[in-house]
Structure 1
Amino acid sequence: MSIDPSSIPSFGGQPDPEPTGPGQVVIPDQELVKQLLDQMELKYLVDEEGDLAAPWEEFRTYFMFRGEGDQAVFAVRTFYERAYSVDEKPQLHEVIDDWNRRTLWPKVYTHTHDDGSVRLIGEAQTLIGLGVSLEHFVSSTVSWVRASIEFDKWVGETLGLEKDAEGDSDADPGSDEE
């Protein structure tokens, strides 16, 4: 099976192509996702657990297959790198509750690490065990990736972190401060 490049929604703001009718039903696998990521021109790697991961500067997105038979699930899970303190968790909950109420995906939640740092994780998933249309799979996966990127921008703007990052760029580029 191969992916028709015209079926991949554009990241450049162009309108998505109109559906062309019922499509081929597939049971997606890692090779199909690799092909899609290649066509999207996204870099990826396979981690030590065998999951595909696409790294960005501020987050990494995993494409995971879990379960078997008609219970098989495909999940796109994004781990955001920005660390927060436990004291910031109530504010984070308010912000991500707002996101989760207003959007379909990714659903975002917090994870507190052993060192006390709090990070955000976004997730979208679908059952694939009985098969899905190729067009639906491609469109959903691209939409989930796009939404993960948008969430990172949105949370930075909502929490006022984008201004902080811009302010940091005023530091002397030759200094050793971090």
Structure 2
Amino acid sequence: MSIDPSSIPNFGGQPQPQPQGPAGPVVPNQDLVKQLLDQMELKYVVDEEGDLAAPWELFRTYFMFRGEGDQQVFSVRTFYDRPHPIDDKPQLLESIDDWNRRTLWPKVYTHTHDDGTVRLIGEAQMLIGPGVNLEFFVSSTVSWVRAAIEFDRWLVEQLGLEEEIDEADKPGDE
């Protein structure tokens, strides 16, 4: 199974032709996801657990396959690396509750580390064991990646983190 490069939706929002593939359901695998990431021109690595990860500056998105047979699940999970102090957790929860109510994906939740920092994780999943339509798989995966990027932008706006980012970009006083 292969994906026609012209069929990949772009990040500019213009509609693209749909992928041409098998007429029936397919069971996606890591090679298909690698092909899709290559065609989206996204860099990726395979981690020590064998999962694909696409790194960005402040987050990384994993493309994982879990389970077996008809219960196999494809999961796109984004780990946002920006640490938040534990005291900010109520505000974070309020913001991500708002996001989760307004959007389909990724569903975002918090993880509090032993050192007291809070980080966010976004996730979308699809049951793929019985097979899925190739068009549906491609469009869903692309949409999930776009939404993971959009969530980071949205959170920066919601929490007023633009100043923090602007300060990090300024040259230091020497």
TM-score category by the smaller chain?
Answer: over 0.9
RMSD: 1.8
Correspondence for 2:106: 106
Correspondence for 1:63: 63
- 1:18 deviates by 6.0
Contact 1:60 1:79 in 2 (8 A): yes
Correspondence for 1:77: 77
2:155 & 2:120 partners in 1: Cα distance? Answer: 10
2:25 & 2:90 partners in 1: Cα distance? Answer: 43
- 1:114 deviates by 1.1
* Corresponding residue SS for 1:155: helix
2:46 & 2:89 partners in 1: Cα distance? Answer: 31
Q: Runs in 1 of length 4+ with deviation above 3 angstroms?
A: 16-20
1:48 & 1:155 partners in 2: Cα distance? Answer: 30
* Structure 1 residues not aligned, in runs of 5+: none
Say yes or no: does 1:129 pair with 2:91: no
- 1:72 deviates by 0.3
What is the number of equivalent residue pairs in this alignment?
174
Correspondence for 1:47: 47
Aligned sequence identity (%): 75
Q: Could you list the per-position Cα deviations for residues 112-144 of structure 1 after superposition, in whole angstroms to 9, with x for gaps in the alignment?
A: 111111000000000000000111100000000
Q: For 1:6, give the aligned amino acid.
A: S
Contact 2:65 2:73 in 1 (8 A): yes
- 1:25 deviates by 1.8
Q: For 1:96, give the aligned amino acid.
A: I
* Structure 2 residues not aligned, in runs of 5+: none
1:18 & 1:119 partners in 2: Cα distance? Answer: 36
2:158 & 2:23 partners in 1: Cα distance? Answer: 39
State TM-score, norm by structure 1.
Answer: 0.92
Correspondence for 1:95: 95
1:149 & 1:75 partners in 2: Cα distance? Answer: 16
Contact 2:3 2:19 in 1 (8 A): no
Q: Could you list the per-position Cα deviations for residues 64-119 of structure 1 after superposition, in whole angstroms to 9, with x for gaps in the alignment?
A: 00000100000000000100011110000000000000000000000011111100
